[in-house]
Structures are given as structure tokens and as C-alpha cells.
Amino acid sequence: MKHVTEFRDPALVRQAIDSIRRTMTRPWTLMEVCGGQTHSILRHGLDELLPQGLELVHGPGCPVCVTPLQAIDRAIAIASVSGVVFTSFGDMLRVPGSATDLMHVRASGGDVRVVTSPLHAVRIARENPDRQVVFFAIGFETTAPPNALSVLAARESGLRNFSVLVSHVRVPPAMRAILTSPGNRVQAFLAAGHVCTVMGLDEYAPIAAEFGVPIVVTGFEPVDLVHGIGTAVRRLEERRPGVENAYGRAVSQRGNPAAQRVIAEVFEECDRTWRGIGPIPGSGWRLRPTFAEFDAERRFDVGGIAPLEPAACRSGLVLQGRIRPNECPAFGRECTPERPLGATMVSSEGACSAWWRYRRDATGGVA
């Protein structure tokens, strides 16, 4: 248990908080990019321990939350086709599309299955040669390598009944979009450690230099997070932008070159629309033309589907760090985990889900 308990040590957390308090001379606004960081911060009450004037805002780093509504509607359309086995990670089943969700498709008789790995979907295709098997390939840089490997495995096995519906997004372009938005308040970022484990740090240095912001890579345990926050505050106070790795036990400068090669072999960069945010240039990956035969969007001709976002949902403003979840008029009223309007209330990494679980009352206190 050492590597769990030592990074949850209350004494170390208090020491780090005291150091932040001694360092701060003015207010600062930081954004934690990843939804996993958001849940850890709220679960352990770290935001309530920070000095007054130090604000944490929640970023768009929840892959389920930012998967565009159009991709959800395409998934629902494909899953509704007779003879299709549609596979996905579990969080995606309850994400609302324009009119319904994948859970309702399954309840209506569609063969929608939860898998824990894209290679599980490949195995299903291998075991069911008479059926079309589709895997919903979503996520950030962390899920891209196994999703790419599933396509390579299908090609190596000669499978003609396997395809992927791709909706991959990339973190650095989203950070750039936040910093260039008219209402931006973010002065420093806590970058997602697991993303950097795959991709390394090189993509972040140009952003830090261009916008003059600190970007600090952190883990997900309380000690990791307060250490990362303290590092960002110190750099802000010293007017010292740049990238700093505060998660050295997992992240290296170069990341994982083998994983990067697999991604580059199967995927190419593209523009991507983020749910609630809009189009971000160069922020996605799609299959390369050499793998077009595994493209479910082409195979099932669902490219022309037009989505319809609920007017009451303010998840886009939450994902940009412009409002807190409880500042959305629908939060806890029209929008609950049982009847969500947006993906941020569904996902295990969603900010609205975290606020419902840990800070449900309207004032932001613990329910």
C-alpha cells in the first residue's frame, strides 16, 4: 500500500498547502485539465483547503464529456442497425444523444456490449464472422495507442467485419483554444499526467512560451495535486512561465515513443468539434486513408447526421472553466445523473458528476 498511502498523507498535504499560503502574494486562477484531477480535488476537499484567492477551474479533460454530439448520434444510428454488435466503454452508454442514448438502444433490442479493451471487440469480431462489430474509439492520447493496436490486429487477422467509429481528441490544441478565448481567466495549467506518460512534454513548451503561462504536469493523488498547484503558484509569483514535470515517477520528457509510433501509423491529425465547445483546429485524430476499410463512419454512411444539443445544458461553459457546474440553472433540477442533459453529468470524470457527488448544494458546500 506504500504507493497509495504516501501520496494521500494528510500531513504532507498540509505542509504543501502551508507552503502555497506562504508563497502567494496575489490571486491566481489555475485550471486542472483532466476530469480525473477534478474528481480527486473535490473528493478530498483540496479546493477548500487552498488559500483564499487561489481558484481552481475545471477543464475539458474528460473524453466522454467532449465527444461531440454528432459522434454520439452516429454511434446510436450504427448500434440500431440489425446484425451489428456495437461495443464501447461503459461510460458512453448513458451519454445523451439528440433524442436517446446507447442504453436505450440496448433496451430496445440492439446488441450493445460493454468492453474493457478494444482488443476484446476484435475478439468478438473474430468469434462472430457473420456479424459486423464496431468499436467506439474515443478518448485523449491515453486511449489512442490501444485503439490503434485494435485496427492493426484486425488487419493482421484479415477481419472484414470489424470497424471503429473514431472520435479522438488531443489536449494541447484545447489548451491553446482556452487561452485564446475572449473570456479566458486561466493563468496556469495542471496538465494531465497520464496523457504526458504517452506523449511526453514537448508539445507543451511552445504553448507555455507563446502565452507566458506555467504548465505543470501532475498526478491524481492529493499530494501530487497540491505539489503541482504549489509549483504552478511559485512559477506565477516568480513570473516564470514554462513546463515543469511534477509527476516524475510516471512521466518522462519523451513519453512513450513506441506508443507514439503506433498512433502515427494508424491515425492522422484532423480538426475536431468538441461537445459544448465547438470546433478546435488540429485537435483530433482520424484513421489514415490506408485504414479506410476499418472506418465505421464510411461503412455505415452516417456522416450526414445533424445533432441537436439541449438548449438548457451549459456544459460547454463548464468545460471551458467559465462557470462552475452548480451555476448552471439546470444543475440538480432538469439535469441529474438519472436524467442527464449533458455528458458532464454522466461521465465518471465529468465535472458536473463530481459536483453532484461531492458538492451538491447550490452554495458549493458539501451536501
pTM: 0.89
> How far is residue 75's CA from residue 137's CA, in Å, rounded to a whole number?
10
**pLDDT tens digits along 26-68:** 999 999 999 899 999 999 999 999 999 999 999 888 888 889 8
Alpha-carbon distances of 89 from 118, 152, 168, 323, rounded to whole Å: 9, 20, 14, 28
Please compute Rg for the chain using Cα positions: 21
Can you spell out the DSSP letters for 209-259?
A: HHHT-EEEEE-SSHHHHHHHHHHHHHHHHTT--EEEES-TTT--SS--HHH
236 backbone dihedrals φ, ψ, rounded to 5°: -65, -45
The grid coordinates listed for 151 are 485496427
Rounded CA-CA distance 136/54 in Å is: 39
pLDDT at 365: 38
3-state class of 118 per DSSP? helix
Q: Do domains 2-62+173-245 and 65-170+255-299 have the same CATH topology?
A: yes
Predicted local distance difference test score (pLDDT) of residue 366: 37
Residue position matching grid coordinates 441537436:
308
pLDDT cut 90: percent of the chain above it:
74
pLDDT at residue 2 in the model: 58
Q: Tell which residue, 224, 238, 156, has the closest CA to residue 193.
A: 224
Closest by Cα among 254, 260, 309, 317 to 69? 309
Residues 6+ apart with CB under 8 A from 339: none
The mean of the pLDDT values for the chain is 92
pLDDT at 126 over 90: yes
Mean pLDDT lowest among 11-20, 149-158, 348-357: 348-357
The pLDDT of residue 367 is above 50 = no
pLDDT surpassing 80 at residue 360: no
Which letter does DSSP use for residue 101 in this model? -
Q: Is the pLDDT of residue 1 over 50?
A: no
CB atoms within 10 A of CB 306: 8
Query: What's the CATH number for 65-170+255-299?
Result: 3.40.50.11740
Residue 290 or residue 354, greater confidence: 290
Domains of the chain, by residue range, sit at 2-62+173-245, 65-170+255-299, 325-357
Angle between helices 10-23 and 222-237 (to 10 degrees): 10
- The C-alpha cell at 99 is 433524442
Residue 111, beta-bridge partner list? 85
pLDDT tens digit string along 57-103?
998 888 888 898 999 999 999 999 999 999 999 989 999 898 899 99
User: Contact, 123 vs 162, CB < 8 A?
Assistant: no
Q: CA-CA-CA-CA torsion for 46, 58, 214, 23, nearest 10 degrees?
A: -30
Instruction: Report how far apart, in Å, the C-alpha atoms of 11 and of each of 17, 20, 198, 262 are.
Output: 10, 14, 31, 42
Return phi, psi of residue 119, to 5°: -70, -25
Place of cell 468469434: 127
CB 57 within 8 A of CB 30: yes
**How far is it, in rounded angstroms, from Cα 318 to Cα 96?**
17
Q: Read off the C-alpha cell for 248.
A: 516524475
DSSP-assigned states of every residue in 294-335: GBHHHHTT-TT------TT--HHHHHTTSS-GGGSTTBTTTB
Q: Which whole number is the average pLDDT over 145-155?
A: 98
Query: What is the model's pLDDT at position 89?
Result: 93
Model confidence pLDDT, tens digit, residues 215-242: 999 999 999 999 999 999 999 999 999 9
Q: Which CATH superfamily is domain 2-62+173-245 in?
A: HypD, alpha/beta domain 1 (3.40.50.11750)
Question: What pLDDT, on the 0 to 100 scale, is given for residue 361?
Answer: 57
Comparing 339 with 270, the larger pLDDT belongs to 270
Give the model's pLDDT for residue 4: 67
Nearest Cα neighbor of 176 from 31, 357, 331, 40 is 31
DSSP code at position 51: P
Instruction: Give the rounded distance of the alpha carbon of 326 from its chain centre.
Output: 20
